[in-house]
């Protein structure tokens, strides 16, 4: 599932590529992704200029003129692509970028045609991504957005703020890191990497962390997420995340524990272990993360 670094990578490129362009039409074979009526949606966004693109947590927002906001959550298998496509018999085929022929980029269920001749496309194998049309007013009223926790890469996310968050909960630290209402954007891949980097046991209760561990955790959150963005996110094994040009995220080769069960810990050489935690796989070094 795309987490903060993947969504941030997508949003930075969307900003560069889409702002100023105009949506001239939209096509779908999966209207269940949309909250609301498709023909209504189409009517509302047709011929509207894209004026801004923003991210909040794992959510993407395309701001259009005349107070329209397209809210996209990629969920498990969704990713957005930009390219030139032609409708050939039954399917959309990319015309000038072979990367878009990667099978992971071929689950095309939404196509937004643009004035520039390109298209913004949603590839979503499991068709679980969510698309919602909002206005400024309904945007401000979305409960799930209002409840989102702090952005971990914002300047407001200080060690003090992290400490306040951690003190509030007796849950296992890994679950707290992944709770979107505390900190927005961290999922299973980065929670594993962050805890390894900070040398913290994923099962210890959040409110039991010592001062020095909180400092290390804060630093690890900032570093791991920034490095992952610098390498354009992670396309792990069996992970179909691709950037908007259809390319794999390069952070996969920098992962230290995630999906590295049985390999030596890069710090101490002990073999990395994997254990189920709250239904997800936790990868950790039994020695560094006692």
Residues making contact with Zn ion (CB under 5 A) = 265, 267-268, 270, 285, 287-288
* 205 belongs to the catalytic site: no
Q: How far is the CB of 200 from Zn ion (least distance, A)?
A: 12
* 2 belongs to the catalytic site: yes
Q: Which of 58, 175, 197, 260 is catalytic?
A: 58
* 15 belongs to the catalytic site: no
* 56 belongs to the catalytic site: no
59 neighbors 73 (Cβ within 8 angstroms): yes
Find, among 121, 52, 122, the residue nearest to 83 by Cα: 121
Q: Which is nearer to Zn ion, 46 or 287 (CB)?
A: 287
Q: How far is the CB of 239 from Zn ion (least distance, A)?
A: 24
Q: Tell me how far apart the 2 most distant CA atoms of the chain are, in Å.
A: 62
Q: Which is nearer to Zn ion, 48 or 260 (CB)?
A: 260
Q: Which is nearer to Zn ion, 112 or 258 (CB)?
A: 258
Residue number closest to Zn ion, CB atom: 265
| Measured distance CA(74)–CA(3) in Å, rounded | 9
189 neighbors 5 (Cβ within 8 angstroms): no
Q: Which of 2, 5, 94, 152 is catalytic?
A: 2
Q: How far is the CB of 288 from Zn ion (least distance, A)?
A: 3
Q: Which is nearer to Zn ion, 140 or 268 (CB)?
A: 268
Q: How far is the CB of 221 from Zn ion (least distance, A)?
A: 19
Which residues have a catalytic role annotated? Answer: 2-3, 58, 280
């Amino acid at each position: 599932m795309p987490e903060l670094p993947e969504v941030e990578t997508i949003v930075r490129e969307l900003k560069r590529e889409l702002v100023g362009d105009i949506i001239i039409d939209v096509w779908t074979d999966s209207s269940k992704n949309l909250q609301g009526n498709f023909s209504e949606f189409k009517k509302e966004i047709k011929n509207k200029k894209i004026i801004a693109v923003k991210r909040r947590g794992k959510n993407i927002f395309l701001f259009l003129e005349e107070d329209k906001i397209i809210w996209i959550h990629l969920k498990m298998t969704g990713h957005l692509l930009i390219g030139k496509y032609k409708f050939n018999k039954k399917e959309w085929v990319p015309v000038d970028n072979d990367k878009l022929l990667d099978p992971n980029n071929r689950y095309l269920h939404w196509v937004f045609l643009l004035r520039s001749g390109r298209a913004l496309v949603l590839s979503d194998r499991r068709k679980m991504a969510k698309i919602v049309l909002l206005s400024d007013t309904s945007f401000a009223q979305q409960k799930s957005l209002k409840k989102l926790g702090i952005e971990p890469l914002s300047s407001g996310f200080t060690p003090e703020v992290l400490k306040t968050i951690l003190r509030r909960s007796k849950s296992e630290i890994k679950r707290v890191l992944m709770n979107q209402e505390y900190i927005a954007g961290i999922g299973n891949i980065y929670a594993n990497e962050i805890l390894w980097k900070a040398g913290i046991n994923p099962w210890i209760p959040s409110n039991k962390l010592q001062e020095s561990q909180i400092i290390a955790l804060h630093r690890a959150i900032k570093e791991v997420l920034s490095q992952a963005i610098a390498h354009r996110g992670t396309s792990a094994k069996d992970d179909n995340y691709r950037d908007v040009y259809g390319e794999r995220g390069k952070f996969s080769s920098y992962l230290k524990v995630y999906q590295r069960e049985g390999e030596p810990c890069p710090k101490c050489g002990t073999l990395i272990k994997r254990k189920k935690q709250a239904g997800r796989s936790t990868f950790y070094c039994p020695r560094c993360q006692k």
